[in-house]
Structure 1
Amino acid sequence: MYKTFYAIEMVNGALPGDLTAPAMLDAAFLSTLTMSAAGLPLDPVFATRATLLADCAAPYFASESVRKKRFHRALVEAGIVDLA
Structure 2
Amino acid sequence: MPALPLTPIVNDFDPKVYFEIAASTLVRNFGDRALYYADEALKKMRAIDDADGFDMWLGIHQHILEIIRDGHVPAGVSIH
TM beyond 0.5: no
| Greater C-alpha Rg | 2
Q: Return the structure number with greater helix share.
A: 2
TM-score (norm 2): 0.29
Instruction: Tell which has more relative contact order, 1 or 2 (C-alpha 8 A, sep 6+).
Output: 2
